[in-house]
């Protein structure tokens, strides 16, 4: 249980630092959240828990393929905000787009040999 709390606290600190930095310097905050810190932490925790190179390789590869359908959200949200759309509507549309693209990746990916 202590291990789980340590993982959660360390992961939460990354998010808190990024959001605080972004309040002062949006570009630097964006740089921090664009870094694959969550992915790296997840790989560290997975490696510590399993020491399984096959599982780690599958995780890292699946992460790559799942990053791709999430990227359009980061273009749609600013576009909508600049058009006068409310934040919550833009965020919802971005999330809906990402979910649709994730579902597409899950259904289409295996047809091209991707193991997700």
Sign of CA dihedral 26, 31, 82, 96: negative
Burial of 85 per CB tally in 10 Å (0-12, 13-18, 19+): middle
The reported pTM is 0.77
The residue behind tokens 């490696």 is: 47
Residue for token pair 């597409």: 104
Give the integer Cα–Cα distance in Å for 7 and 23: 25
Q: Collapse the DSSP code of 89 into the 3-class scheme (helix H, G, I; strand E, B; otherwise coil) and give the result.
A: helix
pLDDT in tens, 42-86: 899 999 999 999 999 999 999 999 999 999 999 999 999 999 999
Q: So where are the chain's domains? A: 1-51, 53-116
Contact 105, 69 (CB under 8 A): yes
């Amino acid at each position: 249980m202590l291990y789980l709390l340590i993982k959660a606290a360390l992961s939460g600190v990354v998010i808190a630092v990024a959001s605080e930095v972004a309040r002062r310097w949006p570009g630097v905050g964006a740089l921090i959240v664009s870094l694959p810190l969550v992915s790296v932490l997840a790989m560290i925790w997975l490696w510590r828990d399993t020491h399984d190179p096959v599982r780690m390789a599958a995780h890292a590869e699946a992460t790559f393929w799942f990053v791709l359908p999430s990227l359009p959200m980061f273009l749609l949200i600013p576009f909508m905000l600049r058009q006068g759309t409310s934040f919550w509507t833009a965020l919802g549309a971005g999330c809906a787009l990402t979910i649709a693209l994730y579902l597409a990746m899950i259904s289409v990916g295996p047809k091209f040999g991707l193991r997700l």
